Amino acid sequence: TQLLEQSPQFLSIQEGENLTVYCNSSSVFSSLQWYRQEPGEGPVLLVTVVTGGEVKKLKRLTFQFGDARKDSSLHITAAQTGDTGLYLCAGPTSTTDSWGKLQFGAGTQVVVTP
Amino acid sequence: GAVVSQHPSRVICKSGTSVKIECRSLDFQATTMFWYRQFPKQSLMLMATSNEGSKATYEQGVEKDKFLINHASLTLSTLTVTSAHPEDSSFYICSARAGTSGRYEQYFGPGTRLTVT
Q: How far apart are CA B88 and CA B85, in angstroms?
A: 5
B60: CB partners within 8 A, 6+ apart: none
Through-space distance between the first and last CA atoms of chain B, rounded to whole angstroms: 37
Distance of alpha carbon A108 from alpha carbon A42, whole angstroms: 15
DSSP string covering B94-106, please? EEEESSSSTTSPE
Q: Does the pLDDT value for residue B106 go beyond 90? A: no
- What residue of B is the nearest CA neighbor of A107? B43
| B25-48 mean pLDDT | 91
Q: What is the pLDDT along chain A (114 residues), one digit of tens a residue?
A: 568 999 999 999 999 999 999 999 999 998 899 999 999 999 999 999 999 999 999 999 999 999 999 999 999 999 999 999 999 999 988 766 666 788 999 999 999 999
Of B46, B105, B108, the CB nearest to A43: B108
Chain B residues with CB-CB distance to A93 below 8 A: 46
Cα–Cα nearest to A99, from B41, B49, B6: B49
Where does the pLDDT of residue B41 fall: very low under 50, low under 70, confident under 90, or very high at 90 and above?
confident
Cβ atoms A85, A94 nearer than 8 A: no
Going by pLDDT thresholds of 50, 70 and 90, the confidence category of residue B28 is: confident
Tens-digit pLDDT profile for residues B77-92: 999 999 999 999 999 9
